[in-house]
Amino acid sequence: MDTSHYMPNKTEAWQNLERHAQKLSIDVCHQFKVDSERSQMFSVETNELFLDYSKNLIDRAIWADLIALAKNSPLQEMKRSMFSGKKINTSENRAVLHTLLRKDNGSEVGKLDRLLKKVKDQKQQIKKVSDRIRSGSWLGVGGKPITDVVNIGIGGSDLGPRLACHALIEFSHPTINIHFIGNVDGAELLSTLSKLDPQRTLIIIASKTFKTLETLMNGNTAMKWLQTHLNIRDPQRTDHLIAVTANPKNALKYGVSESNILQFSDWVGGRYSLWSSIGISIAISAGYDRFHEMLVGAHEMDEHFLNAPIEKNMPVALALLSVWYSSFLRLETHAIIPYCERLQLLPSYLQQLAMESNGKSVTRQGQPLDYPTSPIIWGQTGTKGQHAFFQLLHQGTHTVPIDFIAACNDMLSTPQHHEALISNMLAQGSALMKGQSADPTEMHLHYRGNNPSSTLLIDKLSAKNFGALIALYEHKVFVEGCIWNINSFDQWGVELGKTMANGMVSSAGSLTNLDASTLSLFAHQQAKLA
């Protein structure tokens, strides 16, 4: 297929879907009555994940056109290109190979085989370093073992490991605490450091580029804190600092000892980096074996994505629903509601994954798009969300597709609590779909119903299943990008603000480029400085 001329909205499937959308009158409850196999038809299972998407605003005819849309897109070719290391991130001239990080062995030849060997070496280093820290043989300058690890990083260098350490808290080391500092808000950093013993603290500066302003500023402050409290000149040369980066030159310039630099390759995108050395904090917290299980689970999802037919492919199903809602029904947001407190950071994580990847308005060839792309991703855990924003979901003026996510078993909970949690989730999905009519004199009691949702049930929140869950959403985002014909792997949209902020921080000279409103805000803030 010649993908250079692909325009999804010129395909027959797209046009059929536009017609379906214009005359849409799907009553989901009615669809269950007329299609006795609806729930089997619209569900898919792989390994320990089961996805039911039968409560969505689709019928068999719409689904057939969505499947045709996927089949007529460059998806299959792009998938092959991604897994084989072609430079599909064209604007940065880079391959996209986070899937290689999840492989132990392979039949790769040539370049991929060499890359896999490098990945294996990097994994060995993650294992060696994390084992030493966990066993107490990685010592600070006073000869004491590490009790606190502070991961300083932002975006993908923060969200992935932070989410994973929370999700896998069941396996966390009994005497080593992991802290995450993302924001350049000094109050957060200082209050974290003030509770720690510098002799027993390890700082990890996690930055793919080793250039990010927030991370370097936080790193510098942490180094000064070590310098003062340990009374040493160059804390960055000691075992109190590890750098994780794809730019070892910058880490060396920063003064980090070569043996304390954990590398990964530039073909690992920031938001896909928890599988790389960026995952060192996961391995320190949960142990290397759990980290490895996480990779195995993600690899199993890769295999499912590669080999399952499009009609029974979990990431494809989630992506097609998203494309249907965004581009055809013009629903602008999508909620992620895990019924599991350990997944409380999942909505933020998926926000970066989806919105940084597919928040684009030009095609891969640089042409403007005339259809909406990524929805706004938001959410929080149930049942907490039920007492905050579910009112709007049931009776507001917006229709919000939802992904409910839960573990069937939770050994950390009690059977009673877990039953209450899961019952709440299932009840919400059903209530949102069924609604409830009310007497016209009591319309405040009316629930319109027909609100779409999908439900993902995971056998249990093991490290392996957690890996599969994240890989599922990565591939979902990839499929969306293939259908929308956008480059999901760059993020040029964050550059302008970064450059302007850097200018404001470093020199008053560049203020001349600012608009009158921003200049007046800047002047106001400066005048109020205590």
- Which residue ranges make up the site for ligand F6P (CB under 6 A)? 154-157, 207-209, 212, 215, 270-271, 356, 491, 494
303 burial (CB, 10 Å; 0-12 / 13-18 / 19+) is: middle
Check: CB of residue 448 under 8 Å from CB of residue 397: no
Residue 43 to residues 52, 204, 312, 317: CA-CA distances in angstroms?
Answer: 4, 42, 8, 9
Q: What contacts 12, CB < 8 A, 6 or more positions away?
A: 68, 72
Q: Which is nearer to ligand F6P, 214 or 300 (CB)?
A: 214
In the complex, the smallest distance separating the C-beta of residue 245 from ligand F6P, rounded to whole angstroms, is 8
In the complex, the smallest distance separating the C-beta of residue 163 from ligand F6P, rounded to whole angstroms, is 13
111 burial (CB, 10 Å; 0-12 / 13-18 / 19+) is: exposed
Chain length of the chain? 530
398 labelled catalytic: no
CA distance 343 to 503: 37
Q: Which is nearer to ligand F6P, 151 or 157 (CB)?
A: 157
356 labelled catalytic: yes
Q: Which is nearer to ligand F6P, 309 or 497 (CB)?
A: 497
Q: What contacts 400, CB < 8 A, 6 or more positions away?
A: 331, 333, 334, 335, 392, 393, 451
In the complex, the smallest distance separating the C-beta of residue 210 from ligand F6P, rounded to whole angstroms, is 7
Neighbours of 72 (CB within 10 A): 17
In the complex, the smallest distance separating the C-beta of residue 270 from ligand F6P, rounded to whole angstroms, is 3
Active-site residue identified among 387, 444, 524, 528: 387
387 labelled catalytic: yes
Farthest-apart Cα atoms in the chain, separation? 76
Q: Contacts by 9-14 with C-beta closer than 8 Å and gap 24+?
A: 9/370, 9/371, 11/68, 11/69, 11/72, 11/73, 12/68, 12/72, 13/65, 13/66, 13/68, 13/69, 13/72, 14/69
Q: Which is nearer to ligand F6P, 52 or 158 (CB)?
A: 158
Check: CB of residue 126 under 8 Å from CB of residue 280: yes
CA distance 79 to 307: 11
Secondary structure of residue 83 in the 3-state scheme: helix
CA distance 291 to 289: 5
Phi, psi of 74 (to 5 degrees): -75, 15
Q: Which is nearer to ligand F6P, 157 or 373 (CB)?
A: 157
Q: Which is nearer to ligand F6P, 357 or 465 (CB)?
A: 357
Active-site residue identified among 117, 224, 253, 498: 498
Q: Which is nearer to ligand F6P, 157 or 322 (CB)?
A: 157
Active-site residue identified among 214, 300, 356, 474: 356
Could you list the active site residues? 356, 387, 498
